Amino acid sequence: MGNLSCKVRASENISDEQEPVNVIWHPDPPYALNENEIPTGFEIDLWRMIAETRKIPYRITRAHTFGELLEAIGSGRADVAMGGILINENRSKRFEFSFPTATSEFKIYELKQERSTALRLLQVTTSKEVLLIFAGVALIACFFAVPVWLLERNRLDLIHEKKRHQLILILQKTLLLSTDHTQKSKTRIISIISLFARVLLTAYFASYILKTANNVQKSSEQEVITSLDSPTLQGKTFASLTDSIQGSILKAKGIKQISCELIPECLQQLEDGRADAILADEQSMQTALQQTPYSLNIKPTSETLTTLFIAYGMSKNFLDDPRSGAINDAIARSYYDGTYAKLSQTWLRK
């Protein structure tokens, strides 16, 4: 009996000294990032909380690329992977997923080139329509100035002036809406008609400016993309993360894309003009823009196109380990014990 009890205690000690869980991560702020050479972020902080409360020893390493992370968890070299991994049917054939840790809302982002107010004003005033209005004002002035001149040219105060000088003077007075150059009833009636015509033309000019402003506002509203099948995306090149779900979605739609490893690199491609747009997770994009050392006028040009779930990746071999169940249980408990809400306020601004 003594030997049997010793064997039981020995086996208990062996079970207590479990092998550390091999964790691999890849930067995808705010879910996982490197801060002063220390891995942190929403998913990593959540993992630390789980490991601490469930007494799970682990060793954590960083993947050089997202593809390396997927390969490690798919081959079983790593037990748990994290870094904004989206739940996807094709990926579930290579490895398993934990309970969801976050939701991911995809939008299209583009670099907006804001024109200065002076430039926009110049563009409006030099447009074909405005130039025609200005030409109309000049023609109206000339049209009414000529008959006024014909009727008033024989006045004593004008008779000694040259005809060209008379015509220019009356044209000037007509343009200035002056009436002191008319003395006859006929010419005053002509001046009144001229004034009325230019008031109508001015009203048309004002209505045209308002209509142009409304059209600009409506066109900007109509530019909001509701689907990747939108014709406005034809010919555009997207910067997409290597081995990402976004890349698969764009490929399925036949949209041209260039690869980048991290969102800051994608933003650089957008700024350099190598890419026209990015299909990205809203939280990841907001975090990347906040961390950019200089301001980029990058705005969403679409509605939320799709919503997917983010989760930890788990190797199929690790599913036999009871700690996999403990991890899922801890994630579920974090939803209602306040842990998830606290981490969301810190990292996801929710």
**Per-domain boundaries in the chain:** 12-103+309-348, 117-222, 231-300
Note whether 315 and 93 are within 8 A (CB).
Answer: no
Q: How many Å apart are CA 37 and CA 287, to the nearest integer? A: 18
Q: How many Å apart are CA 350 and CA 346, to the nearest integer? A: 8
CB-side exposure of 247: number of CA atoms within 13 Å? 15
Q: How many Å apart are CA 71 and CA 226, to the nearest integer? A: 34
Q: Is the pLDDT of residue 92 over 80?
A: yes
CATH architecture of 12-103+309-348: 3-Layer(aba) Sandwich (3.40)
pLDDT for res 13: 37
Could you check whether 12-103+309-348 and 231-300 share the same CATH topology? yes
| Per-residue confidence band for 328, with pLDDT thresholds at 50, 70 and 90 | very high
Q: Is the pLDDT of residue 42 over 90?
A: yes
Q: How many Å apart are CA 234 and CA 255, to the nearest integer? A: 8
260-314 per-position pLDDT tens digit: 988 999 999 998 999 999 999 999 999 999 888 777 888 899 999 999 999 999 9
Start-end of H helices in the chain = 2-16, 42-53, 66-75, 89-92, 117-125, 128-152, 163-175, 185-222, 245-252, 263-272, 282-291, 322-334, 339-343
Note whether 196 and 189 are within 8 A (CB).
Answer: no
pTM for the structure as a whole: 0.67
Tokens 């670099």 belong to residue: 111
Q: Is the pLDDT of residue 188 over 90?
A: no
Mean pLDDT of the chain, nearest integer? 81
**Which one, of 221, 151, 201, 206, lies nearest residue 181 by Cα?**
151
| Per-residue confidence band for 3, with pLDDT thresholds at 50, 70 and 90 | very low
- Please state which CATH number belongs to domain 231-300: 3.40.190.10
- Does residue 30 have a cis bond before it (omega within 30 degrees)? yes
**Which one, of 65, 82, 42, lies nearest residue 312 by Cα?**
82
Q: How many Å apart are CA 107 and CA 298, to the nearest integer? A: 12
Q: How many Å apart are CA 45 and CA 136, to the nearest integer? A: 70
Helix (H) or strand (E) holding 80: strand 80-82
201-251 per-position pLDDT tens digit: 777 777 777 777 666 555 555 467 888 888 888 889 999 998 899 999 999
The burial of 215, by beta-carbon neighbours within 10 Å (0-12 exposed, 13-18 middle, 19 or more buried), is given as exposed
Percentage of the chain exceeding pLDDT 70? 72
Q: Which residues contact 285 (CB under 8 A, 6 or more apart)?
A: 107, 109, 263, 278, 298
37-62 exposure pattern, b = at least 16 Cβ within 10 A, e = fewer: eebbbbbbbbbebbbeeeebebebee
Q: How many Å apart are CA 70 and CA 128, to the nearest integer? A: 57
Looking at residue 334, its amino acid is S
